[in-house]
């Protein structure tokens, strides 16, 4: 029997991107019960050019884009996303609303793409995915930064949070394909029994805890925003929520990183600040070629100078009245 080829393009280096791939694969296989399905997963990252998935990367019999920018293509058969910056142009949005792809689902205020897929599976296709409930819940908590307290996320005792750290660093296409296949047949915690994954998770934990001292030294506060320019410190592995622990009353955080001449800006709202999020961070990052949600987002730039200029612009915007 000829196998049915499914290509999944998802958000790389992202736990929600991984969980979306797992959840969608379970849905797809349920809809094609009795057929052999071969799955290839490709990870894509946001960059300063605003690029999406190339049509050449949609090379399956069926092709899905999950948790990432929309690409208008006759090859695209499935689309799920919840980013405010999903559509690069009005024409893209119009094409999607006209029915391209035939199975397209978008929820701008959705807390995670994984939950959107799971809820759509039940409501639209009558497919219940009970074994994925734990994965769905953790993807939803992580992507919406819905944690009990800052210590939970900074020190990451839960297996899902440890796996999220691993995926954020090592979530290339090959890794996503491997982890997706393993999560379809086993629980989250079982992955941490893999000696190589466990070793790398422990290494990341040590690096992130050490980087807290660097963040404390470099960061300062401008109005309601923490400004942490790490671009001169070389490659660093930091806990992205670490600034919330160091500056618990600040409403927003910005961090700039540099590697091989390129820069990456990370922006977030501190849910433990005691104040509301008055700005949509993803929308503020859209003109810079980045994206994200209301409470978190990021963008990449071809140079450190461009990244610093964007960081200064974001700090002004976050300090301005909404």
What is the predicted pLDDT for the residue at 289?
83
Q: Answer whether 114's CB lies under 8 Å from 19's CB.
A: yes
220 in the same domain as 136? no
CB half-sphere exposure, 163, CA atoms < 13 A: 26
158 in the same domain as 95? yes
Question: Is the predicted pLDDT of residue 73 greater than 90, yes or no?
Answer: yes
What's the CA gap between 174 and 196, in Å, rounded? Answer: 15
Among residues 136, 156, 186, the one where a domain terminates is: 186
Give the chain's domain count.
Answer: 2
Say if 193 falls within a structural domain.
no
pLDDT band at residue 124 under the 50/70/90 scheme: very high
Say if 109 falls within a structural domain.
yes
Q: Encode pLDDT of 229-286 as tens digits.
A: 999 998 888 887 889 989 999 999 999 999 888 899 999 999 989 999 999 999 999 8
Question: Is the predicted pLDDT of residue 113 greater than 90, yes or no?
Answer: yes
pTM: 0.86
233 in the same domain as 100? no
Q: Answer whether 271's CB lies under 8 Å from 315's CB.
A: no
242 in the same domain as 166? no
For residue 122, the domain's CATH number is 3.90.1640
Say if 81 falls within a structural domain.
yes
Say if 202 falls within a structural domain.
no
246 in the same domain as 163? no
47 in the same domain as 177? yes
Q: Encode pLDDT of 218-239 as tens digits.
A: 999 999 999 999 999 988 888 8
Under the phi-then-psi rule, with left for phi > 0, alpha for psi from -120 to 50, and beta for the rest, what region is 265? beta
Q: Encode pLDDT of 135-153 as tens digits.
A: 999 999 988 888 888 888 7
Among residues 152, 186, 220, the one where a domain terminates is: 186
Question: Is the predicted pLDDT of residue 317 greater than 90, yes or no?
Answer: yes
Query: DSSP states of 72-139 as a string?
Result: --TT--EEEE--TT--SSHHHHHHHHTTSSSEEEE-TT-S-HHHHHHHHHHHHH----GGGHHHHHHH
217 in the same domain as 169? no
Query: DSSP states of 140-152 as a string?
Result: HHHHTT--S-HHH
Under the phi-then-psi rule, with left for phi > 0, alpha for psi from -120 to 50, and beta for the rest, what region is 13? left
Mean pLDDT, to the nearest integer, of 3-13? 95
Lowest mean pLDDT across 66-80, 129-143, 164-178, 241-255: 129-143
Domain that holds residue 129: 4-186
pLDDT band at residue 319 under the 50/70/90 scheme: very high
230 in the same domain as 129? no
Among residues 186, 217, 234, the one where a domain terminates is: 186
Say if 58 falls within a structural domain.
yes
The residue among 270, 274, 268, 272 whose CA lies nearest residue 314 is 268
What is the predicted pLDDT for the residue at 40?
95
């Amino acid at each position: 029997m000829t196998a049915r080829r499914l290509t999944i393009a998802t958000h790389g280096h992202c736990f929600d991107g991984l969980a979306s791939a797992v959840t969608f694969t379970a849905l797809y296989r349920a809809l094609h019960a009795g057929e052999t399905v071969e799955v290839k997963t490709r990870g894509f990252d946001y960059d300063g050019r605003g690029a999406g998935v190339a049509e050449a990367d949609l090379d399956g019999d069926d092709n899905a884009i999950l948790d990432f920018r929309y690409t208008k293509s006759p090859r695209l058969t499935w689309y799920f996303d919840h980013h405010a910056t999903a559509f690069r142009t009005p024409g893209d949005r119009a094409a999607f609303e006209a029915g391209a792809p035939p199975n397209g689902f978008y929820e701008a205020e959705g807390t995670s793409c994984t939950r959107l897929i799971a809820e759509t599976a039940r409501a639209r296709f009558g497919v219940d995915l009970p074994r994925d409930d734990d994965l769905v819940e953790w993807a939803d908590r992580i992507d919406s930064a819905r944690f009990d307290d800052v210590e939970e996320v900074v020190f990451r005792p839960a297996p899902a949070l440890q796996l999220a750290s691993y995926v954020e660093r090592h979530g290339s296409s090959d890794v996503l394909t491997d982890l997706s296949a393993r999560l379809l047949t086993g629980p989250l915690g079982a992955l941490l029994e893999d000696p190589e994954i466990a070793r790398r998770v422990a290494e990341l934990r040590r690096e992130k805890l050490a980087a807290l001292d660097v963040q404390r030294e470099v960061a300062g506060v401008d109005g309601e925003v923490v400004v942490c320019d790490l671009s001169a410190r070389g490659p660093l592995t930091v806990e992205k929520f670490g600034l919330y622990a160091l500056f618990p009353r600040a409403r927003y955080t910005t961090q700039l990183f540099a590697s091989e001449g390129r820069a990456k800006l990370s922006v977030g709202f501190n849910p433990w600040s005691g104040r509301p999020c008055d700005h949509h961070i993803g929308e503020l990052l859209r003109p810079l070629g980045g994206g994200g949600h209301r409470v978190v987002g990021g963008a990449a730039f071809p140079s450190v100078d461009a990244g610093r200029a964007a960081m200064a612009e974001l700090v002004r915007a976050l300090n301005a009245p909404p």
